[in-house]
Structure 1
Amino acid sequence: MLHTCVRNTEMAASPATTLAFGCRYTCMTVTPLRKLLTLARFSHHHRSTVSFAYSASITSFSFSRFQNPNFFTGKSFFLRMERLWSGSGINKNKAMLEHLQHYGVFTSKKVAEVMETIDRALFVPEGTAPYVDSAMAIGYNATISAPHMHATCLQLLENNLQPGMHALDVGSGTGYLTACFALMVGPQGRAVGVEHIPELVSSSIQNIQKSAAAQLLKEGSLSIHVGDGRLGWPESAPYDAIHVGAAALEIPQHLIDHLKPGGRLVIPVGNVFQDLQVVDKNSDGSISIRSESSVRYVPLTSRDAQLQGD
């Protein structure tokens, strides 16, 4: 469940380079402005995606749909960028979302409502800063994604997360995004998380039981399972929405097969160079694919490979 993107980065008139990186299983720490220019040397062991362009100096910076023209004006640019990455002043869930909306990360009122209802603090390790816009390690070489990427994926899937629909979260981790799915599809829908680390499945269920999605878990419209998400979860297929939190060399056929006509799959695809791809299954069963953004994830892999850090 990676993070944002280079799609709308505005390049300067002079030659510039765009960088983006992030990954499913390891954590990016919060990075102040003075360190951003060193990020090109980071390996794929960074789950939160940064994108910016530079020539002799930084000339632009963006999240996906990051379009505040006043953000880059004057000396205040540097202070604002520092605040963006440090999470300065963010000490509660609602403020975190207002922060992301202010910088154009997402626009959906429904996504804001759901993310405000499902408190991120219940899904991060104790003692961490829950509302900083950064991925966090959760053990077993896994992370919880940064808030801006959760918002991005929820907005991409919003039309396929309507009440009564079915949703699948592959690599459900702490259960946060699956809980958001469950609130969106409601008690008449079905939200399924698949995670191949049994300990994470157990802890994610405990997290959800403390959250606003607890009743949906109790009633059975929300469930978390131990399994290989590359194979989907056939018991609740077909799905209107599928989200995958690690990069595949190619889109798994099982997931395409489990997608309902009219359904949408969001998945990072690639090896060294990766794109967050939006896969739509048309009413006639044909497939349409577009790239939402450039990203960097670790591979969609087996449990043993993940635990070994491969």
Structure 2
Amino acid sequence: MNVGFIGTGSMGSILIESMIKTDALKPDQIVATNRTFAKAERLAEVYTGLKAVPSNREVALAADMIFLCVKPKEFKNVIDDIKPYVTAAQTVVSITSPVLIRHLEEHIPCKIAKIIPSITNYVCSGATLTMYGSRMEAEDIETLDRLLQRMSKPLVVSEEYTRISSDISSCGPAFLAFFVEQFVQAAVTYTGISKEEATKLASEMVLGTGLLLTAGGFSPESLRERVTVPGGITAEGLRMLSLDLDGTFERLIRTTHHKYKEELDKVEGLFYNPQS
């Protein structure tokens, strides 16, 4: 099977590198292009056998499965480029959350899937959210899942909940990293501990906490309760956080959903009202 990638930016390159590192794909099974062609060429230089091509058309003609790793505003142009060349036997996989499965099924004749990867996939961890269009057969789903299982845990989600699922799985690492960054900086400022030491402690804490919440069998609530001694230091810290963060995560979700709605409206305009 030959797999194509249109878009080799941050997430496109993570998918390519993760699939190669885990032997899900060999470099010579991959054909890739990017709007800035030099980015695709750099991947071809690193991974001998990977073929960098200068056009979307060439990817469509060469690949059995095509990953579309482009920004929402670029999507319609990419679809227009590949539409004359894709066939019913091919699978197109979008990783762009505001682009809906129906947008693609209404505009190109092939099988359609949608995934939301995470930067955690770069270390072969975390989830990949998966959604499948009406033309996907069981064997098509199995083929895609086999690729994703080597670098992540594929989880089927309803497209209706794409945004909130992405907030947790895909945006979550950035939100959590921001929390760690602020925690470390406060520790350095208030106590004088070195940033290097504080960062190492915090990073190991996050890793261990993740293992407790997965392999360890704890829920967030049970882990919090296990660590917290009534009237103790952790309890006092949590009391302060509960007061200062009251409503913060609700506002966060409203913010991401508002942005998603803006992007979805733009995509709708590109696909159905291109003159507006």
TM-score (norm 2): 0.29
Q: Please identify which structure carries the higher helix content.
A: 2
Q: Which has the larger radius of gyration?
A: 2
